[in-house]
Amino acid sequence: MKASKTCTAIYPGSFDPVTFGHIDIIKTASKMFAKIFVAIASNTNKEPLFEAQVRLKFLQSAVRSLPNVEVELFGGLIVDYARKKSAQAMIRGIRAVSDFDYEFQMALANRKLEPEINTVFIMPSEEHFYLSSKLIKEIAQFGGDVSRFVPPNVARGLREIITK
Ligand code: PNS
């Protein structure tokens, strides 16, 4: 499938919390697709640090300047959400080889469930290559400065939730 400015894409994830790496990917995708729905999983297997509504607020403020990007919560299967949005593509960020196994498995399973929706992998810029929500939570937990990795409201949110 050729990415095109007429296509709609979804960008699903836990976003617990959103990082500059995610925002980088959203910005790239917003230039490739007509419309992007950033879809925050409200029912992941992982126990999230931030409630879904808080993750939603963080992302909404991060994409405020991008008119073709909308952020929503979703539950259930991601392919069902993609169908509901009439999306042709599913975006996933890919950084290191270590991401590949899980991402490849998920992309193939989703393609079996819905052959019309293709996964498109986007690499973040080198500047954000090493970033992950997990790493950021760990840095924040031990009192490290995360202001270079996440927007100011997220850094504040991390400080608050961790010192609670
Ligand atoms: O940011 P994450 O945690 O890697 O995102 C994973 C996510 C939420 C995209 C994935 O777990 C998902 O799609 N969950 C919804 C349920 C579903 O459709 N599972 C089958 C995927 S093959």
What's the pLDDT tens digit per position in 81-111?
Answer: 999 999 999 999 998 888 899 999 999 999 9
Asked whether 39 lines ligand 1 (CB < 6 A), one says no
Distance between Cα 39 and ligand 1 center (Å): 10
**143 pLDDT exceeds 50?**
yes
Residue 68 vs residues 6, 39, 119: alpha-carbon distances, Å: 12, 14, 19
pLDDT of residue 54: 97
Domain boundaries, the chain: 4-129
pLDDT digits (tens, 9 = 90+) for 12-52: 999 999 999 999 999 999 999 999 999 999 977 789 999 99
pLDDT of residue 1: 46
Q: Annotated active-site positions, please? A: 22, 46, 95, 133
Asked whether 108 lines ligand 1 (CB < 6 A), one says no
Distance between Cα 54 and ligand 1 center (Å): 19
CATH of domain 4-129: 3.40.50.620
SS3 state at 67? coil
Question: What atom in ligand 1 is closest to the CA of residue 106?
Answer: 22
pLDDT digits (tens, 9 = 90+) for 44-81: 778 999 999 999 999 999 999 999 999 999 999 999 99
